[in-house]
Amino acid sequence: MIVGSGPAGYTAAIYAGRANLCPVVVCGLQMGGQLTQTTIVENFPGYPDGVDANQMMMEMQQQAERFGAEIMSGVVTDVDFSNKPAVVTLDDGEKIEADTVIIATGASAKYLGLPDEVKYNGRGVSGCATCDGFFYRKKVTAVVGGGDTACEDALYLAQLCTKVYLVVRKPFLRASKIMQERVMATENIEILFEHNATGLYGENGVEGMHVVKRKGEADEQHYDVAIDGFFLAIGHTPNSEVFRKWVDTDEVGYICTVGNTQQTRTPGLFVAGDVCDPTYRQAVVAAATGCKAALEAERYLQTI
């Protein structure tokens, strides 16, 4: 069984299907994974002109089905590896036995919780500067956050954009000293300390953000900033909760692997994609780990 239907899950299904392992893919809440929240993917090999994200994931699904993968809707609510085979429970109560399980549930970008983030999702709002920054060349963008990830995103966008606002709710950056120095030294990055984004506006996409400076203080100020893109860099939440009895995780919840493999501490339970990757979170990397997980699952099955 493969839990998750993003690049990691479908790649694992392709390899498992070609090895006659009878893979079953449980798609989760979002068929195609987080990638379907973006529009055009331009950095995945094999698409010189870019490709619509939903089209790419449909093609991955079709390729997996061509090799015999069974695609199921549903959400995994429990797994039991205390006996062999493992028992996987879905949200409709169905229980499925599996000799191996590959976790490919991804990690969800944290949002501020503004209704406008949903309204403009894919039309100016993004949780991945590396994925979507290319579309904002010679435009003005804003990055929300004050840690290393936010600074890295701002520096990346500064190479593409005419102006980058870094929206920081604290009067200081939490990022490492070297990252702070790099941001401070970049002329087209303006740091908005003690600012909170309270909303977005625009006709056919994001055209600006509503901000408040020194919220709750006597000198609180409200004003608007014209931008073309709004990037969230306040962290990700790995979707690992249901599996934590059977795996080791870091302090955030990313699943830890055994050595340079996709194996978890539980024999027969593998992991791939963003749920075990706090560093890269790229579709091509996720696909590669999906390949590794399927190959390792095949080798494991040969030993039992």
| Distance from C-alpha of 176 to C-alpha of 183, rounded to nearest angstrom | 11
Q: Assess whether 224 carries a catalytic annotation.
A: no
Q: Where are the beta strands (DSSP E) in the chain?
A: 2-3, 24-26, 40-41, 51-52, 70-72, 76-80, 86-90, 95-98, 101-103, 107-109, 125-126, 140-144, 163-168, 189-193, 195-201, 208-213, 221-226, 229-232, 236-238, 269-271
> Catalytic pick from 128, 161, 276, 291?
128
Alpha-carbon gap, residue 8 to 5, rounded angstroms: 7
Query: What is the Cα gyration radius of the chain?
Result: 21
132 flagged as catalytic: yes
128 is catalytic: yes
In which region does residue 102 sit, left (phi positive, over 0), alpha (psi from -120 to 50) or beta (all else)?
A: beta
Neighbours of 127 (CB within 10 A): 24
d(CA 142, CA 145): 10
Q: Which listed residue (116, 132, 153, 277) is catalytic?
A: 132
The tokens for 255 are 């699943």
Instruction: Output the six-digit token pair for 272.
Output: 């791939």
Determine the number of helices (DSSP H) and then strands (DSSP E) in the chain.
7, 20
Catalytic residue among 27, 116, 131, 276: 131
Supply the angle between the helices 148-158 and 177-184 in degrees, to the nearest 10.
30
CA distance 268 to 98: 10
Q: Which residues are catalytic?
A: 128, 131-132
